[in-house]
Amino acid sequence: MNKIELLAPAGNFEALAAAVESGADAVYLGGSKFNARAYADNFDGETLVKAVSYAHIRGVKVYVTINILLTDRELVEALDYVSFLYQIDVDAVIVQDLALLKLVSGAFPDMEVHCSTQMTVHNVEGARYYSSLGAKRIVLARELSLEEVRSIVKSTGMMTEVFVHGALCVSYSGQCLMSSLIGGRSGNRGRCAQPCRKKYSFYNFRTGKAEMENLNKHLLSTRDLNTYKRLDELVESGVTSLKIEGRMKKAEYVAIVVKHYRTALDSITGKSSAAEAEYELKSAFNREFTEGYIFNKRNKDIVSIERPDNRGVPLGKVLGQKGNIATIIINEGYLNDGDGIEVVSQSGRSTGTIISGIRVKGKNAKSAEKGDTAEIFIRDRVETGSSVSKTFDSVLNRKAREEYSPENKRKIAVECKLIMKAGQNPLIIVKDGNGNTVSYTDEEKVESAEKAATPVEKVMEQLGKTGDTPYLIEVKEAEIEDNCYIPARQVNRMRREVLERLSRKRSHIHERPILQLNSAALIENMMPESKAVKAAPEEYIAGVRNHAAAVSAMNAGADTIYLLGDAYEGDIAADAVKLADLCRNKGKSLFYVAPNIVRDREAARIQKRLETIIEKAKFQDFGLVISGAGELGLARKLGIGRLRINYSFNVFNSVSANHLYQEGVEAIGLSPELTLPQIRAISSSCAAPIEALVYGYMPVMTTEYCPVSMQKDGCGDAGGCINSNYGIIDEKRKVFRMVKLDSCRIQLLNSDVLLLAEDLGDIKSSGVSKLRADFYIESPEEIGGIIKLYRNYRDMDKYDRSLIERVKAKGFTKGHFYRGVD
């Protein structure tokens, strides 16, 4: 069975020490900039140097996250930062940005680049594509099943990484704009505000009302992942690394979780001390557990709608209360002084406290066990019959701290050879299990014994006193003359000096050369030789979901039709053939918009659909809009000449744009999180025409979880699938419509429509020539009106001011063109 890596999170140095001392093989962490956990403590330059040294000495690798999208202005600084990481011997960087992947793999060939889960790698072709750009490891999407993971491992031969424990995202990572569009805090920039943890109700568009069932519940709040009991199956799958989530968690949490996963991996079956492990993993933190999509869990097994926070472990019930003294019965586990508890009434009202005194049978006690009736102080009123849970275990957390404290270091066995002869300088040679060998010759010569010689056993005992160093010395060979006098201070000095030399060697394991990198020049060299941008004519694009919408858009003046592939209603292949004839006659273009998610099991269906359109339509102006890296291979396989990049590809800078242009695409749809100045910077440095979404209810989330499954017993309602009849409504009365995609996938649409008809002059002047409007819910008549409005933006006042006011009245946004994201 293959050696598998246990990868642990570290939000600060204490958590890093906890991970290392508890048995992690590698840790991942973020610097003070450019990482997807901007609100963690993170590591500045000095602490990073210390962290790498600490981990490497103990045989643990360090991966640094730079897993956000980067603007043109940030790329130089990010590359300088990678250069610093390279010099301090960081083992790998974890990236999201396509440009940074290409730059780092080219400039630092002996430094691994890992593709973050933010790159949404979820199929074989996507993994192969990023491998071709230099990625050495892929962090796979958490939505994949174990069978799909096995297939990617077998088909690509790449190193792969999967999450095994911790918080889950309800959306595919890298495909969520909800936090960004609601409040300007972007998950793609490391500042997600977690709107998925807030309360929502179901909204029925047929009745125009929120439904009373599951009112104000946490409908998007996922459970926490826990695969502890099934690690043997994960190991068998061939994955390289098992990743624990939790860079925002405390060091004690990291210590507890890593300890149990380490124990389970070492025993492979994970069956030893299972009850203790389950209790401690729950005690560390849980929002209720799920085994996740990787073990085919779905819907109700993925989310926990009652609340989004720590559930703790069940403890007992309230028997009564007099004043501030509550009497509780301990039905499970134990209660210690200093523990945190939560009391939840039958009506759902909750209160919590830290235990500051326990009485059992009328006497003061430090703890209460199962079966005990305990009296505790609690300030708030609690109801008889309320459930009591323990949310903080003081003893467990204290033990966790002790396990990574200086007195309990992770020890490294080293072999030692000692040569001591009277009148000569003593020599000590040390070798570790990695083949590192160092020696030290002491300047003080060995003295001849005037009285009793120093026993060999005494020298070895003194040599073995490694104290708070991470080493255990085993003397394999000792050449010590019988008449030598060897003072303890000399042995101590020799041990200290040789181990310090060994630490220096272990902390820099890669022996990298010193690079003189000019980041700005390197980026400049990545650009095409000619940056001359040909003036592209205005092109008005309509993204549609049915045949009638396409016809209405063309009649109103749309130049190009985008068939929204995974959201399309009806027979898209048959409609595309009909529409191809119309486009041919009217001089229009037709594109199929590939889904942003194409699992390997779905690829054959999409390929067949495209083959049918190509064969029957015989339309040279038919093309493919690529939404993810895996579709580039499909386009080449089918010989589709006209290719464009969808905004879901997350193109955020000119290096990424030019790279994709050189791959053969004719136009680049930029990330909707860019501002006009940022768009202008890209368009001025990119030879490809630039496309921007300027109208539509934008998808804010793509998820395998169907919220309606929580509302109805099974999938959908009496009329079958939800078919866009439902949405969710938040506490501010904003409604997010649900759209069913292929394979029962769900997209949530933004509550406000993106409306930029009045701003097309600014957008055009930023270098955008392809103006796209996506229509998910509009009628054919409304679509025609919107297209005409946009086409006549220069004479809007003369055209129809009332239409734009009607659209605004429903709620609108200008996206990030003017405000940007944090």
pLDDT at 35: 81
pLDDT at 655: 96
Decide: 227 and 164 in contact? Cβ < 8 Å: yes
Decide: 506 and 436 in contact? Cβ < 8 Å: yes
Summarised one tens digit per residue, pLDDT across range 534-576 is 578 999 999 999 999 999 999 999 999 999 999 999 999 999 9
Q: Which helix (H) or strand (E) holds 643?
A: strand 642-645
Range of the domain at 260: 5-168+222-299
pLDDT at 274: 75
Residue 120 and residue 214 share a domain:
no
Q: Using DSSP bridges, classify how beta strands 5-10 and 241-244 pair: parallel, antiparallel or unpaired.
A: parallel
Average pLDDT over residues 495-502: 96
Q: Residue 533 pLDDT more than 90?
A: no
Give the percent of the chain with pLDDT over 90.
Answer: 82
Whole-angstrom distance, CA of residue 593 vs CA of residue 46: 47
pLDDT at 105: 95
Within-domain flag for 20:
yes
pLDDT at 2: 64
Average pLDDT over residues 88-114: 96
Residues 6+ apart with CB under 8 A from 170: 196, 220, 221, 222, 302, 303, 701, 703, 705
Binning pLDDT at 50, 70 and 90, where does residue 718 land? very low
Residue 350 and residue 441 share a domain:
no
Within-domain flag for 231:
yes
Q: Using DSSP bridges, classify how beta strands 358-360 and 363-365 pair: parallel, antiparallel or unpaired.
A: antiparallel
pLDDT at 390: 96
Lowest pLDDT segment from 130-134, 135-139, 531-535: 531-535
Within-domain flag for 517:
no
Binning pLDDT at 50, 70 and 90, where does residue 529 land? low
Residue 642 and residue 585 share a domain:
yes
pLDDT at 118: 98
Angle, CA of 602, 604 and 605, to the nearest 5°? 70
Average pLDDT over residues 769-778: 98
In 437-488, DSSP assigns E strands to 437-441, 447-448, 471-480, 484-485
> At which of 350, 383, 404 does a domain end?
404
Average pLDDT over residues 137-159: 97
Residue 370 and residue 444 share a domain:
no
Whole-angstrom distance, CA of residue 391 vs CA of residue 256: 15
Residue 351 and residue 271 share a domain:
no
Within-domain flag for 715:
no
Q: Look up residue 354 and give its two tokens.
A: 């830290």
Could you give the 3-state DSSP secondary structure of residue 654? helix
Q: Which candidate, 76, 5, 2, 78, places its Cα nearest to that of 35?
A: 78
Within-domain flag for 792:
yes
Summarised one tens digit per residue, pLDDT across range 239-272 is 999 999 999 999 999 999 999 999 999 987 444 5
Binning pLDDT at 50, 70 and 90, where does residue 516 land? confident
pLDDT at 715: 57
> At which of 253, 269, 299 does a domain end?
299
- Cα distances from 133 to residues 85, 101, 685, in angstroms, run 20, 7, 21
Summarised one tens digit per residue, pLDDT across range 790-815 is 998 887 666 667 888 899 999 999 99
pLDDT at 85: 96
pLDDT at 721: 63
pTM of the model: 0.93
The average confidence (pLDDT) of the chain is 92
Whole-angstrom distance, CA of residue 236 vs CA of residue 234: 5
Taking the alpha carbons at both ends of the chain, their separation in whole angstroms is 45
- Which is more confident, 119 or 407? 119
Residue 320 and residue 290 share a domain:
no
Within-domain flag for 527:
no
pLDDT at 270: 45
Summarised one tens digit per residue, pLDDT across range 435-481 is 999 999 999 999 999 888 999 899 999 999 998 899 999 999 999 99
Residue 163 and residue 69 share a domain:
yes
Whole-angstrom distance, CA of residue 367 vs CA of residue 613: 72
Q: Which candidate, 688, 680, 672, 820, places its Cα nearest to that of 754?
A: 672
pLDDT at 86: 96
The 8-class DSSP code of residue 405 comes to: S
Q: Residue 717 pLDDT more than 50?
A: no
Q: Residue 211 pLDDT more than 90?
A: no
Ramachandran category for residue 414: left, alpha or beta (phi over 0 → left; psi -120 to 50 → alpha):
beta
Residue 605 and residue 541 share a domain:
yes
**How many independent structural domains does the chain possess?**
5
Decide: 522 and 82 in contact? Cβ < 8 Å: no
Average pLDDT over residues 660-673: 97
Average pLDDT over residues 677-704: 96
Q: What is the DSSP string of 560-624?
A: EEEEEGGG--S-HHHHHHHHHHHHHHHT-EEEEE--S---HHHHHHHHHHHHHHHHHH--TTEEE
Q: Residue 432 pLDDT more than 90?
A: yes
> At which of 404, 433, 458 does a domain end?
404
Residue 148 and residue 85 share a domain:
yes
Average pLDDT over residues 665-686: 97
Could you give the 3-state DSSP secondary structure of residue 733? coil
pLDDT at 428: 96
Q: Residue 532 pLDDT more than 90?
A: no
- Which is more confident, 300 or 632? 632
pLDDT at 716: 47
Q: Residue 614 pLDDT more than 70?
A: yes
Q: Using DSSP bridges, classify how beta strands 241-244 and 358-360 pair: parallel, antiparallel or unpaired.
A: unpaired
pLDDT at 18: 97
Which CATH number belongs to the domain containing residue 619 in this structure? 3.20.20.70
pLDDT at 214: 81
Within-domain flag for 516:
no
Q: Residue 124 pLDDT more than 50?
A: yes
Q: Residue 179 pLDDT more than 50?
A: yes
pLDDT at 36: 67
Within-domain flag for 783:
yes
Which CATH number belongs to the domain containing residue 146 in this structure? 3.20.20.380
Summarised one tens digit per residue, pLDDT across range 159-175 is 999 999 999 999 999 99
Residue 456 and residue 444 share a domain:
yes
Residue 686 and residue 588 share a domain:
yes
Residue 418 and residue 354 share a domain:
no
Q: Look up residue 211 and give its two tokens.
A: 């439904």
Binning pLDDT at 50, 70 and 90, where does residue 743 land? confident
Q: Residue 236 pLDDT more than 90?
A: yes
